């Protein structure tokens, strides 16, 4: 923005916001077009090669081994933003110091990854879906097997046994498919939980036979 007016120059926040909008409409697009002009002078082939090398180095530095493909794709986008910013700095478009744009992109990507995790979205969704069902109905819709003369659960979803960290929930196949895994592939969900030792599977498949 070209204006140097501060919030204290206006009688209220609304007037200041309106002034900011007006200035933004009148003063924009300076850096972008100039960046393009200087890219042409620098050489598009040189710029492309440089960006590809920087993005590849960024991905190698920030992506954990064995990460999901989505993590790789997002890392490439962050890497491109950082490399583009540093190239803009090298061409005199920004007043930033060398490497600052890539450092900022790395900071942002690491926080995205910390929140998202490096597993596939489908895997996280499978675990979260089952966990949510147990959190919501683990007591109210599951009959306890180790409590004598307990009242039958209304709209029963299965049975439960044990307490604390050793507690288990037994869910009939149709309830598993239609309710617990609603909208998901029940076999994928079962496999995902089994791989994480969250599902006790039978030797020949994911369904265990349990006598109630």
Same domain, 111 and 14: yes
Which of 92, 116, 140 is a domain's end point?
116
Closest to 141 in 3D by CA, of 129, 151, 155:
155
Q: What is the pTM of this model?
A: 0.51
Mean pLDDT, to the nearest integer, of 195-208?
84
Same domain, 24 and 81: yes
Query: What are the φ and ψ backbone dihedral angles of 197, each rounded to 5 degrees?
Result: 60, 30
Contacts of 64 (CB under 8 A, 6+ apart): 71, 113, 118
Mean pLDDT, the chain, rounded, equals 87
Same domain, 110 and 135: no
Determine the 3-state secondary structure of 185 from DSSP: coil
| Tally of domains in the chain | 2
Per-residue confidence at 121, pLDDT binned at 50, 70, 90?
Answer: confident
Report how far apart, in Å, the C-alpha atoms of 14 and of each of 11, 112, 135, 151 are.
9, 33, 45, 61
Token representation of residue 57:
């180095």
Mean pLDDT, to the nearest integer, of 17-45?
86
The boundaries of the domain holding residue 99 are 9-116
Residue 135 forms part of a structural domain: yes
Can you name the residues that pair with 69 across neighbouring β-strands? Answer: none
Same domain, 159 and 189: yes
Per the listing, tokens 């929930």 go with: 169
Same domain, 20 and 112: yes
Q: How far apart are the first and last CA of the chain?
A: 72
Mean pLDDT, to the nearest integer, of 95-122?
86
Burial 49-68 (b: 16+ CB within 10 A, else e): ebbeebbeebbeebbeeebb
Report how far apart, in Å, the C-alpha atoms of 201 and of each of 135, 165, 178, 179, 188 are.
21, 18, 19, 20, 13
pLDDT on residue 1 = 38
Same domain, 130 and 172: yes
Same domain, 111 and 133: no
Same domain, 167 and 87: no
Contacts of 173 (CB under 8 A, 6+ apart): 207
Which of 74, 101, 116 is a domain's end point?
116
pLDDT on residue 3 = 44
Q: Parallel, antiparallel, or unpaired for β 158-161 and 142-144?
A: parallel
């Amino acid at each position: 923005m070209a204006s140097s007016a501060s919030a204290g120059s206006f009688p209220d926040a609304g007037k200041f916001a309106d002034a900011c909008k007006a200035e933004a409409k009148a003063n924009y697009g300076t850096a972008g077009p100039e960046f393009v002009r200087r890219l042409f002078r620098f050489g598009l082939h040189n710029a492309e090669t440089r960006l590809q090398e920087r993005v590849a180095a960024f991905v190698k530095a920030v992506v954990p081994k064995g990460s999901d493909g989505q993590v790789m794709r997002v890392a490439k986008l962050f890497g491109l933003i950082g490399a583009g910013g540093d190239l803009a700095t090298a061409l005199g478009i920004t007043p930033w110091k060398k490497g600052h744009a890539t450092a900022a992109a790395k900071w942002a990507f690491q926080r995205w990854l910390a929140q998202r995790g490096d597993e596939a979205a489908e895997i996280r969704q499978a675990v979260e879906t089952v966990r949510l069902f147990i959190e919501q109905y683990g007591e109210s819709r599951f009959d306890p097997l180790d409590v004598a003369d307990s009242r039958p659960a209304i709209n029963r979803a299965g049975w439960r046994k044990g307490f604390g960290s050793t507690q288990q929930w037994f869910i009939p196949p149709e309830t598993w498919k239609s309710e617990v895994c609603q909208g998901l592939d029940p076999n994928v969900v079962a496999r995902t939980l089994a791989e994480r030792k969250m599902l006790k599977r039978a030797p020949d498949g994911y369904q265990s036979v349990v006598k109630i």
